[in-house]
Amino acid sequence: MTVTEQRGAYRPTPPPAWQPRTDPVPLLPDAEPYRVLGTEKAAEADPELLRRLYAELVKGRRYNAQATALTKQGRLAVYPSSTGQEACEVAAALVLEEHDWLFPSYRDTLAVIARGVDPVEALTLLRGDWHTGYDPHEHRVAPLSTPLATQLPHAVGLAHAARLKGDDVVALAMVGDGGTSEGDFHEALNFAAVWQAPVVFLVQNNGFAISVPLAKQTAAPSLAHKAVGYGMPGRLVDGNDAAAVHEVLAAAVRRARAGGGPTLVEAITYRVEAHTNADDATRYRGDAEVEAWKQHDPIVLLERELTGRGLLDEAGVEAARQDAETLAASLRARMNEDPALDPMDLFTHVYAEPTPQLLEQREQLRAELAAEAEPEGAQR
């Protein structure tokens, strides 16, 4: 038989040991982001939960505005506003049990305070003070992470360890669309799926990584599709629909708690403000785009649903606004007090056992401070 005849007769068969590891079809995200508000599904949502979400969204929006104002007054070094993304922030916090863990990024202050962290302590890092500012163990909230995606392997490690110990803990880790390009994102998702760790990954796709639009970040059909490559379900949700985000995250948390493994949730949302107070967003995007997203505002969507169904009246709207004003007033007053800082704290908690160099530097600073504290003329 000639080679050509052999080729003609060749029937490809898979290598003997090969079979698909899992059926990819159930892992695929839906074609459209999941929505609840303004659809028939809204009737099934718990009215109490919707009202709670609403109150937190209104407070969150006011907190964002106040924190941004504090940067202009020199009271806060930097603030990455989550205006427009409040539904993701609040749903992520409310969906967890007290004994679960939240792993936020620098943009997620609202999720952190909605989980119970003191609103001023949550800003410590962004104020330029030392360390995290709050005790991560008190409310089970990891430090706000500035290095992109590094919080994700931490979340996986904690969740996996908890499972090994038999603790009923779920970790919810938040990351931006830009963060999905980091190696840490890949490593975290891979480990989580291989170990079936009880983790929920929430990607807030807000359109930009500073000035870099999503189109330059990935060629994937959606960020949720990335889940399939790791062997976990990917879910797409309207990130401005608080009821939908809560429902999708709640299902993912239940699945993780029951031993079903991790889920990747991509919430489609929009960063209405600039990246931080140090950014000029008009240099890379137009007003028309921002305006279009403002028409799909998370607070308006929920308020319309609640008032339309008689679950919220004008007095309720006013009460939520008043609560938000009280929070903002307290934030203003407390942030306008100069924090009492001890420069020697610089050396605390760097290492369990300070290095000789650190000890030497500590003594240098102590001597400098003591010399400064001496009364005028005493040094001459």
Ligand X SMILES: Cc1ncc(C[n+]2csc(CCOP(=O)(O)OP(=O)(O)O)c2C)c(N)n1
Q: Would you count residue 266 as binding ligand X (CB under 6 A)? A: no
Catalytic-residue membership of 106: no
Q: Which is nearer to ligand X, 210 or 311 (CB)?
A: 210
CA angle 351, 357, 358 (to 5 degrees): 45
Q: Is 279 exposed, middle or buried (0-12, 13-18, 19+ CB in 10 A)?
A: middle
Q: Which of 61, 107, 154, 160 binds ligand X (CB under 6 A)?
A: 107
Query: CA 89 to CA 335: how far, in whole Å?
Result: 22
For the chain, give the longest Cα–Cα distance. 107
Asked if 243 and 50 count as a contact pair (C-beta separation under 8 A), the reply is yes
Q: Shortest distance, CB of residue 118 to ligand X, whole angstroms?
A: 23
Q: Would you count residue 47 as binding ligand X (CB under 6 A)? A: no
Candidate segments 88-96, 143-151, 154-162, 369-377, binder of ligand X by CB under 6 A? 143-151
Q: Would you count residue 213 as binding ligand X (CB under 6 A)? A: no
Site for ligand X in 112-131 (CB under 6 A): none
The pair of structure tokens assigned to 104 is: 């936020």
Site for ligand X in 284-303 (CB under 6 A): none
DSSP 227: H
Partners of 266 in the beta sheet? 203, 236
Residue listed under structure tokens 């949502």:
45
Q: Which of 154, 235, 255, 271 binds ligand X (CB under 6 A)?
A: 271
Q: Which is nearer to ligand X, 223 or 253 (CB)?
A: 223
Partners of 70 in the beta sheet? none
b (16+ CB within 10 A) / e for 146-168: eebbbbbbbbbbbbbebbeeeee
Candidate segments 31-39, 202-210, 246-254, 366-374, binder of ligand X by CB under 6 A? 202-210
Q: Shortest distance, CB of residue 140 to ligand X, whole angstroms?
A: 22
Q: Shortest distance, CB of residue 296 to ligand X, whole angstroms?
A: 18
Q: Shortest distance, CB of residue 125 to ligand X, whole angstroms?
A: 13
Q: Choose, from 52, 284, 296, 362, the residue flagged as catalytic.
A: 284
Site for ligand X in 157-196 (CB under 6 A): 176-179
Strand, helix or coil at 354? Answer: coil
Catalytic-residue membership of 271: yes
The 10 Å Cβ neighbour count of residue 220 is: 14
Q: Which is nearer to ligand X, 33 or 178 (CB)?
A: 178
Q: Would you count residue 147 as binding ligand X (CB under 6 A)? A: yes
Catalytic-residue membership of 63: no
Q: Would you count residue 209 as binding ligand X (CB under 6 A)? A: yes
Query: CA 354 to CA 178: how far, in whole Å?
Result: 36
Q: What is the crossing angle of helices 86-94 and 298-308, to 10°? A: 70
What residues contact 45, with CB distance under 8 A and at least 6 apart? 36, 243, 247
Q: Which is nearer to ligand X, 37 or 144 (CB)?
A: 144
Q: Which of 22, 39, 73, 146 binds ligand X (CB under 6 A)?
A: 146
Asked if 235 and 224 count as a contact pair (C-beta separation under 8 A), the reply is yes
Q: Which residue is nearest to ligand X (CB)?
A: 176
Q: Choose, from 127, 235, 255, 271, the residue flagged as catalytic.
A: 271
* One-letter identity of residue 146: T
Q: Which is nearer to ligand X, 211 or 361 (CB)?
A: 211
- Binding residues (CB under 6 A) for ligand X: these are 107, 146-148, 176-179, 206, 208-210, 271, 275
Catalytic site positions = 271, 275, 284
